[in-house]
């Protein structure tokens, strides 16, 4: 087993201090403002440190995982207005929550977020725990979100490593030759742990994330505008084509050329709009109108039915009979009706 120091590259010892200084100065000039960074949801501590609202942070982080930043900027304040604190979210009905999640995609995230909120209320009396370990033990909270809440809300001196941050560390301290190249996680973590400035973990990570999102982007790093170009081992790659290569992503399960998650979102959206249970057959017919898609082959129809059963298994929709009663968990057929939870 390596000690963390043994994993630090030589370049780290040569340039880490300047990297810290240059990046923080750049962030003071160019840092972006977002609702989740807003001062009004922050509390000044006696020692001068700023404590950010952990509830707003966790909601923002869960939204940002799979939704564009610009959409989250628009939706987060509305969501926080509808569910202003962890108790309000914990006590909401699933249906109200799924409706409020409209436009965000990946609706099951809303239910996972609520599970975490219920655990905060049930196990901690509505006060968020502060350590990464306790946060990661909440249902539906992964290691990244746990570290983000511990650091951004409570100022914990822990590395917060998302895909942008991993890319920037990799390029800075190692010579990278392609857009998708990042170092093994243990190497990045070793560097990241050493880089977090004492007492300034929150600002440091916001700066790293801004740099990764706006300058050191995945496909077209703008080294000529980068505040770290003089320290970076991958700056101004001579072989620019390599940096322009698209990182081969794992293909998503698809239906008629579109990712299945998009079709799942459309089923939920249809039920949001109709405000009443719909027969599965009708949903399939509305999603795939015969004028556009012809008769769906049996295999595809079965695939759509299975997708709808998956939404039921995930708790996003429910099987229903007239009057709203449940008929069974999953296993619906085309004649059955489904609805959003109440």
- Distance from C-alpha of 309 to C-alpha of 306, rounded to nearest angstrom: 5
On whether the CB atoms of residues 280 and 335 are closer than 8 A, the answer is yes
| CB of residue 234 to ligand SF4, shortest distance in Å | 4
Nearer to ligand SF4, 192 or 215 (CB): 215
Cα 260 to the center of its chain, rounded Å:
19
Nearer to ligand SF4, 8 or 235 (CB): 235
> Pick from 173, 186, 236: which is nearest to 20 by CA?
173
Nearer to ligand SF4, 30 or 115 (CB): 30
Q: Which residue has the tokens 């100065």?
A: 25
Catalytic site residue from 28, 39, 40, 61 = 61
Q: Which stretches of the chain bind ligand SF4, using CB under 6 A? A: 168, 171-172, 215-216, 221-223, 226, 228-229, 232, 234-235
- Distance from C-alpha of 327 to C-alpha of 338, rounded to nearest angstrom: 10
Q: Can you state the percent helix, strand and coil of the chain, rounding each to 5?
A: 55, 5, 40
Q: Is 334 a known active-site residue?
A: no
| CB of residue 291 to ligand SF4, shortest distance in Å | 49
Q: What are the start-end ranges of the E strands in 107-178?
A: none
For 43, the 3-state DSSP assignment is strand
- Token pair of 159 as six digits: 């590395």
Bridging pattern class, strands 278-279 and 318-320? unpaired
| CB of residue 11 to ligand SF4, shortest distance in Å | 11
- Distance from C-alpha of 336 to C-alpha of 145, rounded to nearest angstrom: 38
| CB of residue 21 to ligand SF4, shortest distance in Å | 15
Calculate the CA dihedral of residues 57, 60, 65, 70 and round it to 10 degrees: -140
Query: Helices 54-66 & 69-82, crossing angle to 10 degrees?
Result: 140
In eight-state DSSP terms, residue 293 is: H
> Pick from 18, 5, 49, 62: which is nearest to 156 by CA?
49
For 307, the 3-state DSSP assignment is helix
Bridging pattern class, strands 278-279 and 254-255? unpaired
> Pick from 155, 171, 154, 116: which is nearest to 138 by CA?
116
Q: Known catalytic residues?
A: 61
């Amino acid at each position: 087993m390596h000690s963390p120091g043994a994993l630090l590259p030589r370049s780290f010892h040569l340039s880490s201090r300047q990297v810290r200084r240059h990046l923080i100065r750049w962030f003071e000039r160019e840092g972006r403002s977002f609702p989740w960074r807003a001062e009004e949801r922050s509390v000044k501590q006696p020692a001068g440190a700023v404590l950010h609202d952990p509830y707003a942070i966790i909601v923002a982080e869960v939204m940002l995982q799979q939704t564009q930043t610009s959409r989250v900027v628009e939706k987060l304040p509305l969501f926080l207005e509808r569910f202003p604190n962890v108790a309000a979210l914990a006590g909401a009905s699933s249906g109200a929550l799924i409706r409020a999640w409209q436009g965000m995609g990946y609706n099951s995230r809303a239910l996972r977020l609520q599970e975490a909120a219920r655990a905060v209320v049930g196990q901690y009396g509505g006060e968020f725990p502060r350590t990464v370990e306790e946060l990661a033990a909440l249902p539906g909270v992964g290691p990244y979100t746990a570290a983000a809440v511990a650091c951004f809300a409570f100022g914990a001196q822990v590395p917060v490593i998302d895909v942008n941050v991993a890319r920037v560390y990799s390029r800075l301290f190692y010579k990278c030759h392609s857009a998708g190249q990042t170092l093994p996680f243990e190497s990045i973590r070793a560097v990241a742990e050493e880089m977090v400035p004492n007492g300034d973990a929150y600002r440091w990570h916001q700066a790293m994330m801004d740099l990764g999102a706006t300058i050191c982007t995945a496909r077209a790093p703008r080294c000529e505008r980068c505040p770290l170009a003089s320290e970076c081992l991958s700056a101004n790659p001579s072989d620019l084509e390599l940096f322009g290569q698209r990182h081969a992503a794992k293909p998503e399960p698809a239906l008629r050329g579109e990712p299945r998650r998009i079709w799942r979102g459309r089923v939920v959206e249809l039920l949001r709009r109709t405000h009443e249970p719909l027969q599965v057959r009708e949903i399939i017919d509305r999603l795939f109108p015969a004028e556009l898609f012809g008769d769906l082959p049996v295999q595809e129809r079965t695939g759509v039915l299975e997708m709808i059963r998956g939404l039921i298994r995930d708790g996003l929709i429910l099987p229903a009979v007239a009057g709203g009663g449940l008929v069974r968990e999953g296993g619906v057929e085309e004649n059955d009706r489904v609805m959003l939870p109440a």
